[in-house]
Structure 1
Amino acid sequence: METSVQIEDILTLGPIPESLQTPFLRVANGLMQRASFPKEKVMGLLAQMLHNPKKFAFSKNKVTNLAQAVYALNKQGIAVPLSEIGLTYLPPEPAPYVLGVSEKQADRTVDLRTDSLPYAVFGREQIEEGALKQMETAASLPISVAGALMPDAHQGYGLPIGGVLATEANTVIPFAVGVDIACRMCLSVFDLPPAFLKRQPDLLKKALVEKTKFGMGGETREKFDESVMDLPEWSATKVIRDLKDKAYRQLGSSGTGNHFVEWGIVDVPEQDDQLGLPPGEYLALLSHSGSRGFGGTVANYYSKLAMQKTRLPKQAAHLAWLDLNTEEGQEYWIAMNLAGDYASANHHEIHRKLAKALGEKPLTMVENHHNFAWKEQLADGRDVIVHRKGATPAGAGVLGIIPGSMTQPGFVVRGRGHADSLNSASHGAGRLMSRTQAFNTLTRSQWNTALREADIQLIGGDLDEAPMVYKNIETVLDAQRDLVSVLAKFTPKIVRMADANRKEGRED
């Protein structure tokens, strides 16, 4: 096995300028000696960097500095093309993605059932009438099989937020997944005591400001792991291909609305082998966001397409579905699942950056989607598609996170597998008032008082996310004791949200 790279090897890649030959050699041998890369892998990495220096220059990787030097030359008009030998080091192009179906979905007009299916409601006394009416309409769809309404439910588009709907196994409703596909939670717990918050508040606030990006234009340059962008699904459809560059730029960023990244304290009252933490209090990081502009554009495109293909009465128009046995349905299903992978990668990027700023590795991580559709099986054995729009998966033994608000605690929970809830629980406290109501009725003085009383330091945010717009999380939790068991409590302390900009739409 060869133990070093020679200058002759470097020059086989292409016409490397003399000024970069020594840096190339130093990086190559450093990778072999310190990272234990075999020579073939080193040459392959250098070839990939020369093939796309911009990609490597704007992400965190083992050749970032070298890529920046090559990219700087490119911007000066000095190209460093790969030689024929250099091209052989590149990985093969992925095979074109094949949908597997070619049938188009026909346009048709569909009536609702005369009687809606029965569905379970948890915490009915806390749920507004509009959400109940929306759930009633959803349960009247001819494709509906079962439904449930979580205690944090409130009115949305089509299916209410906090609504769970099981439909026939060949159908998916884009609006029942939600506009922010794969909006999710992620919690990292560190081996640091709560006192660290008091000792190092400036460090923690600085990390949130410098290492997070929020809002419609939020984009990142430093990336730890961009392998999600190499998934073959990015070539599956024109809709996806057209969004890939934007998705890459936004990887590791958060949206607007109720999206946040926050430091807080996790209290673990007793030993739980699944959670894997001894009893005690720990510094923790909690984030809430989804698939950014990629997921939002996919949702809007296929929701409109579904409404063209499946024409329903006005009150049910946003519950139009796509047939998974057609091109349109398969395209959405692929895009939705890709958005799920992408949203997960977003959170991991955020947590890695903040963990690095902290100089710590997390003891454990808990995460879950709460805007998604899953292929599942009901208790009676029927195969269905379960849409959870603002609902946490809570199958038996499944871990999840139910947040409160910027002044209320959140909870790490384990699902009990309750059949009537379709193995689901709430995804938060749920709103008491709309954003418009919040802007029209609340004052910054009220908001600041609530933050001060709860000892919360807030960076960004606006009145539409003030604590008073949310239900009491303890009351919401009490309504679903049969659905989940509480394993730990998270208390927020330093909260980062998008800066106030009422001209931007909300991504939650």
Structure 2
Amino acid sequence: MEPNHIHQDIPGGVPLKMWTRGVPVDEGAVNQLSNAARLPIVFKHVAAMPDVHVGIGATVGSVIPTRRAIIPAAVGVDIGCGMMAAKTTLRAQDLPDNLEPLRAAIERAVPHGRKPGARDPGAWGQIPDAVDTAWAALEPEFTALCSDYPKLTKTNNRSHLGTLGTGNHFIEVCLDEAGAVWFMLHSGSRGVGNAIGSMFIELAKQDALRHNANLPDRDLAYFEEGARYFGDYVRAVGWAQRFAATNRELMMQRVIDAVRTVIAKPFESHVEAVNCHHNYVQQETHFGEQVYVTRKGAVSAKAGQLGIIPGSMGARSYIVRGKGHPDSFHSCSHGAGRVYSRTEAKRRFTLEQHRAATKGVECRKDDGVIDETPAAYKDIDAVMAAQRELVDVVHTLKQVVCVKG
């Protein structure tokens, strides 16, 4: 049987293996992937998922294995960004006919959004006890990081824990193929992760400049094991990934509590649950060698491992089980992937088109979310077909409520 992926040789580098049959891939993304493939630290090949598109610094939807080195820009600034989903014992018929109060309750429970020049509505004013308790477990290591990098003390760290953010981050109430109610959310390490990522990306660039490193792209500057900042970056990125996972857990509990104020029927949550990163780096063994695997917009899909692949505000999402495909470095896509940039989406699509595309979903239908309209993203069904080698579908979810920042 013909393999589902496309093999492309890169002069002066390792090959690309791309799970992109039947989905659009812009030339800029291929150029970024090719630049990464030419780095001397990259092992075996670079894998591209079907949601691949141009990113800042490195390509979204890429899996980059490296020997004894890490590229901070390939991890990005939303370190540990990922998804969490929880199945409940609620059924479709248990949801109210009018879903607006349900959305409003979730929006009150979880800080989200941002207003320049005003108090940040996406941060806590009065921090809940559960957030304080979670922060107490994260704080000692953060204090140690701040002793070496004092500028991190100025971030919204504690006040962003348990909050959603903006852009493509969301909270949804979904129904699966059997009518079970799920809660699903997408967020990461918020302001503090951004500060950590931005700082180390700049330090890597400065290091490369000092050593006259011959890079195909300055954004792909990397730290090698034993170098001045390598250990600090590993420590910081690991902490940010824990912050992100904790952030999602806190938000999920707030969502569940909020739903209980609207739906009187008792229910259990976390009947099935997944909490997975899709912007991160960790050590793994592939093809008999221990390497650092950076997934920027990609999910771990080891054999039997559950993951989440969301569509868009108006499209289906999927709970999947990994097949452990060796050539993808046991990975799959993290979503549908953008077809149009945020700027282009705002230029191209109208509010009327957005409202039609999100018909039946209780969500924002204003100019502020046009850049997140479903048509700005690739067709999720084509994306899933392109990676049939990588995952099996366990559940198909369709949102009925969507909260955006």
TM class by shorter chain equals 0.7 to 0.9
Judging changes above 3 Å, is the alpha-carbon distance between structure 1 residues 264 and 120 closer, same or farther for their aligned structure 2 residues? same
Which of 389, 396, 414 is matched with 2:321 structurally? Answer: 414
Return the alpha-carbon distance in structure 1 between the equivalents of residues 193 and 362 of structure 2: 30
Judging changes above 3 Å, is the alpha-carbon distance between structure 1 residues 171 and 222 closer, same or farther for their aligned structure 2 residues? same
User: Within 5 Å, which residues of 2 pair with 1:251-290?
Assistant: 251-267=161-177, 280-290=178-188
The SS at the match of 2:28 is helix
Return the alpha-carbon distance in structure 1 between the equivalents of residues 26 and 96 of structure 2: 40
Q: Which of structures 1 and 2 has the larger relative contact order (alpha carbons within 8 angstroms, sep 6+)?
A: 2
Deviation at 1:119, TM superposition (A): 2.3
Which position in structure 1 is the counterpart of 2:257? 356
Tell me the amino acid that sits aligned with residue 362 of structure 2: Q
CA contact (8 A) 1:224 1:352 kept: no
CA contact (8 A) 2:155 2:191 kept: no
The SS at the match of 2:166 is coil
The superposition leaves residues 170-207 of structure 1 with CA deviations (integer Å, 9 ceiling, x where unpaired) of: 21111101121111100011100012234462442222
The SS at the match of 1:488 is strand
CA contact (8 A) 1:370 1:390 kept: yes
Which position in structure 2 is the counterpart of 1:441? 348
User: Within 5 Å, which residues of 2 pair with 1:29-108?
Assistant: none
Return the alpha-carbon distance in structure 2 between the equivalents of residues 361 and 228 of structure 1: 26
The SS at the match of 1:457 is coil
Tell me the amino acid that sits aligned with residue 115 of structure 1: G
Return the alpha-carbon distance in structure 1 between the equivalents of residues 100 and 83 of structure 2: 25
The SS at the match of 1:182 is coil
Which of 386, 391, 398 is matched with 1:484 structurally? Answer: 391
Deviation at 1:402, TM superposition (A): 0.3
CA contact (8 A) 1:181 1:290 kept: yes
CA contact (8 A) 1:371 1:390 kept: yes
Which of 206, 212, 220 is matched with 1:319 structurally? Answer: 220
Deviation at 1:324, TM superposition (A): 3.4
Judging changes above 3 Å, is the alpha-carbon distance between structure 1 residues 175 and 251 closer, same or farther for their aligned structure 2 residues? same
User: Within 5 Å, which residues of 2 pair with 1:377-416?
Assistant: 377-379=285-287, 381-416=288-323
Which position in structure 1 is the counterpart of 2:232? 331
The superposition leaves residues 457-476 of structure 1 with CA deviations (integer Å, 9 ceiling, x where unpaired) of: 11375111011100000000
Bigger-Rg structure (1/2)? 1
The SS at the match of 2:332 is strand
Return the alpha-carbon distance in structure 2 between the equivalents of residues 383 and 494 of structure 1: 42
How many equivalent pairs are there? 370
Matched, 1:136 2:34: yes
Which position in structure 1 is the counterpart of 2:6? none
Return the alpha-carbon distance in structure 1 between the equivalents of residues 236 and 268 of structure 2: 32
Which position in structure 1 is the counterpart of 2:70? 172
The SS at the match of 2:308 is strand
CA contact (8 A) 2:47 2:328 kept: yes
Return the alpha-carbon distance in structure 2 between the equivalents of residues 213 and 334 of structure 1: 28
Return the alpha-carbon distance in structure 1 between the equivalents of residues 343 and 196 of structure 2: 26
Matched, 1:473 2:380: yes
Return the alpha-carbon distance in structure 2 between the equivalents of residues 446 and 141 of structure 1: 43
Which position in structure 1 is the counterpart of 2:143? 235
Deviation at 1:428, TM superposition (A): 0.3
Deviation at 1:243, TM superposition (A): 3.5
Which position in structure 2 is the counterpart of 1:248? 158
Return the alpha-carbon distance in structure 1 between the equivalents of residues 64 and 162 of structure 2: 30
CA contact (8 A) 1:149 1:162 kept: yes
Matched, 1:463 2:362: no
The SS at the match of 2:95 is helix
| TM-score, normalised by the number of residues in structure 1 | 0.70
Judging changes above 3 Å, is the alpha-carbon distance between structure 1 residues 240 and 172 closer, same or farther for their aligned structure 2 residues? farther
Return the alpha-carbon distance in structure 2 between the equivalents of residues 223 and 130 of structure 1: 46
Return the alpha-carbon distance in structure 1 between the equivalents of residues 130 and 272 of structure 2: 19
Tell me the amino acid that sits aligned with residue 130 of structure 2: F
Which of 100, 103, 107 is matched with 1:209 structurally? Answer: 107
The superposition leaves residues 103-151 of structure 1 with CA deviations (integer Å, 9 ceiling, x where unpaired) of: xxxxxxxxxx961101211115521111111111100001111310001
Return the alpha-carbon distance in structure 2 between the equivalents of residues 463 and 321 of structure 1: 36
The superposition leaves residues 427-463 of structure 1 with CA deviations (integer Å, 9 ceiling, x where unpaired) of: 00010101111111111111112122xx111137511
Deviation at 1:349, TM superposition (A): 1.1
CA RMSD of aligned residues (A): 1.9
Deviation at 1:240, TM superposition (A): 7.1
Judging changes above 3 Å, is the alpha-carbon distance between structure 1 residues 314 and 382 closer, same or farther for their aligned structure 2 residues? closer
Which position in structure 2 is the counterpart of 1:99? none
CA contact (8 A) 1:228 1:345 kept: no
The SS at the match of 1:134 is helix
| TM-score, normalised by the number of residues in structure 2 | 0.87
CA contact (8 A) 2:26 2:53 kept: yes
Judging changes above 3 Å, is the alpha-carbon distance between structure 1 residues 255 and 138 closer, same or farther for their aligned structure 2 residues? same
CA contact (8 A) 1:204 1:263 kept: no
CA contact (8 A) 1:391 1:425 kept: yes
Which position in structure 2 is the counterpart of 1:222? 128
Tell me the amino acid that sits aligned with residue 222 of structure 1: P
Judging changes above 3 Å, is the alpha-carbon distance between structure 1 residues 408 and 223 closer, same or farther for their aligned structure 2 residues? farther
Tell me the amino acid that sits aligned with residue 160 of structure 1: T
Judging changes above 3 Å, is the alpha-carbon distance between structure 1 residues 315 and 197 closer, same or farther for their aligned structure 2 residues? farther
CA contact (8 A) 1:183 1:288 kept: yes
5+ long unaligned stretches in structure 2: 1-9, 115-119, 261-266
Which of 282, 292, 312 is matched with 1:374 structurally? Answer: 282
Return the alpha-carbon distance in structure 2 between the equivalents of residues 295 and 244 of structure 1: 12
Deviation at 1:342, TM superposition (A): 0.7
Which position in structure 1 is the counterpart of 2:5? none
Return the alpha-carbon distance in structure 1 between the equivalents of residues 101 and 346 of structure 2: 32
Tell me the amino acid that sits aligned with residue 314 of structure 2: T
5+ long unaligned stretches in structure 1: 1-112, 268-279, 499-508
The SS at the match of 1:214 is coil
Judging changes above 3 Å, is the alpha-carbon distance between structure 1 residues 167 and 139 closer, same or farther for their aligned structure 2 residues? same
Deviation at 1:284, TM superposition (A): 1.1
Deviation at 1:482, TM superposition (A): 0.6
The SS at the match of 1:337 is helix
